Chains A and B, each alone.
Chain A
Amino acid sequence: EIALTQSPDTLSLSPGEGATLSCRAGQSVTNNYLAWYQQKPGLAPRLLIYGASSRAAGIPDRFSGSGSGTDFILTISRLEPEDSAVYYCQQYGTLRDTFGQGTKLEIK
Chain B
Amino acid sequence: EVQMVQSGAEVKKPGESLSISCQGSGYSANYWITWVRQMPGKGLEWMGRIDPSDSYINYSPSFQGHVTISADKSTTTAYLQWSSLKASDTAMYYCARLGHCSSTSCYMDYWGQGTLVTVSS
Query: Which residue numbers of A lie inside 8 Å of B, CB to CB?
Result: 1, 30-31, 33, 35, 37, 39, 44-47, 50-51, 56, 86, 88, 90, 92-102
CA distance A30 to B105 in the complex (A): 11
Query: Which residues on the A side are within 8 Å of B103 (C-beta)?
Result: 30-31, 33, 92-93
Q: Identify which of B101, B105, B108 contacts A47 (C-beta below 8 A).
A: B108
How many whole Å from A79's CB to the nearest CB in chain B?
22
CA distance A45 to B93 in the complex (A): 12
Report whether A92 and B111 are in contact in the complex, using a CB–CB cutoff of 8 Å.
no
CA distance A94 to B102 in the complex (A): 11
Report whether B105 and A97 are in contact in the complex, using a CB–CB cutoff of 8 Å.
yes
Tally of contact residues, B, Cβ under 8 A = 26
CA distance A46 to B109 in the complex (A): 8
Q: How many contacting A-B pairs (Cβ < 8 A)?
A: 73
Of residues 83 through 118 on chain B, the ones whose CB sits less than 8 Å from some CB of chain A are 94, 96, 99, 101-109, 111-114
Query: Which residue numbers of B lie inside 8 Å of A, CB to CB?
Result: 34, 36, 43-46, 49, 58, 60-61, 94, 96, 99, 101-109, 111-114
Known: A33-B101, A44-B94, A44-B112. A92 touches B44 (CB 8 A): no
Query: Which residues on the A side are within 8 Å of B108 (C-beta)?
Result: 35, 37, 45, 47, 90
Query: Which residues on the A side are within 8 Å of B111 (C-beta)?
Result: 44-47
